[in-house]
Amino acid sequence: MAISNPLCMVNEFGQSLWLDDLRRDLITSGELKRLIEEDCVRGLTSNPTIFQKAIMGSASYDDQIRLLNEQHKSVDEVYESLVIDDIRHAADLFRPLYDATQGADGYVSIEVSPRLAYDTEGTVTEAIRFWKTIDRPNIMIKIPATLQGVPAVERVIAEGINVNVTLIFSLERYQAVTRAYIEGLGALAAKGGDVSKVASVASFFVSRVDAAVDKLLEAKQTDVSALFGKAAIANAALAYKIWEGIFGGEAFVSLKARDAKPQRLLWASTGTKNPSYRDVLYVEELIGAQTVDTLPPATLTAFKDHGVARPTLEAKVGEAQAILDQLHLVGIDMVAVTQKLEDEGVKSFAASFEDLMTALAAKQKVVATV
């Protein structure tokens, strides 16, 4: 570990960097092990789009698909077998870090089916099934923060299962997520469970907010140039302010006395979408204590090459409300923006999943003839 490596220096300020990527050759080549040991990567996230690219963009899975074909597995069963194997192997690579940090880091996330985004009961059932099937203490089950997903989060946490709550865009929904976590831990404690063993992150999406707000600003007739590229970081900074108030306040006191872990904010969607913005913008400007930033490979490489590691998040909190107030004054409705982003996010993951299942069924036929 090189202390001059910006990826490692971030941890000095209390933030953990996780990789937003998973594919089989990342594991088999030894690259993931190197990222953990040399680049201080402290966890990993995945989603349906990532698995779509991994499975369909590589021959690494063909032998296993062929074997599963011989066992007459359905396309759904093939998908789960491929994904669960990758998740288990990645979790095993991160297990030493998980043990060394006493469960603070070293997590690998797997998402419930996007088909269940608006199905509370289905989400709870699948989350419990994934947890039992994968059988690793350092995995997190990803559940989207839809109106139907939030109560599922509470119930899954109450079962003592680690949860990564994903697709959070609005401050109001983020507050609901924190309540679900605290209520879930309370229910677990009430039935004698060990709340100290449960970990959770709240994945608050960043760059997509700027992409949406900037587009709206471009349509304005007045000069709003000072507001371009400001909404996402301000929105995230206010989420961090909420986090400080909740997990540093009365709401968490009794659970903290039982050694419960605060639910950390995780910055997601951190790849810069606007090429005119600095390519590590959403990493550099959101470095703060007890947070996580999950980076796609290109952003991780860029930050290692020219990123600047310094504590920036607290300073952003001070100016965040003024920025959102200015956006409101020029007619930007953040409630509407963030709801649209949630809807689009659910739809996008669902489309990737269905594309994957269709392509996987076709691939089953192809490998069967080889």
Mind listing the pLDDT tens digit for each residue in 231-248?
Answer: 999 999 999 999 999 999
Q: Please tell me the predicted confidence (pLDDT) of residue 1.
A: 45
Above 90 in pLDDT, residue 52?
A: no
CB-CB contact of 95 with 106 (8 Å): yes
Bridge partners, 168 (sequence order): 204
CB-CB contact of 185 with 262 (8 Å): no
**241 carries an active-site annotation:** no
- Report d(CA 9, CA 194) in Å as an integer: 33
CB-CB contact of 103 with 136 (8 Å): no
CB-CB contact of 140 with 199 (8 Å): yes
- Report d(CA 127, CA 119) in Å as an integer: 12
pTM for the whole thing? Answer: 0.96
Dihedral sign for Cα atoms in the order 223, 226, 228, 232:
negative
Catalytic-labelled residue, pool 73, 132, 142, 340? 142
Q: What is the mean pLDDT of residues 3-12?
A: 92
Instruction: Please provide the average confidence, as pLDDT, over all residues in the chain.
Output: 95
Residue 48 binned pLDDT confidence (cut-offs 50, 70, 90): confident
All domains in the chain, ordered by first residue = 6-365 (3.20.20.70)
Task: Quote the percentage of the chain above a pLDDT of 90.
Answer: 91
Residue 221 binned pLDDT confidence (cut-offs 50, 70, 90): confident
Burial of 258 (0-12, 13-18, 19+ CB in 10 A): middle
| Phi, psi values for residue 247, rounded to 5° | -85, -5
Mind listing the pLDDT tens digit for each residue in 272-327?
Answer: 999 999 999 999 999 999 999 999 999 999 999 999 999 999 999 999 999 999 99
Pick the closest to residue 204 from 271, 266, 283 (CA basis): 266
Mind listing the pLDDT tens digit for each residue in 119-137?
Answer: 999 999 999 999 999 999 9
Residue 3 binned pLDDT confidence (cut-offs 50, 70, 90): low
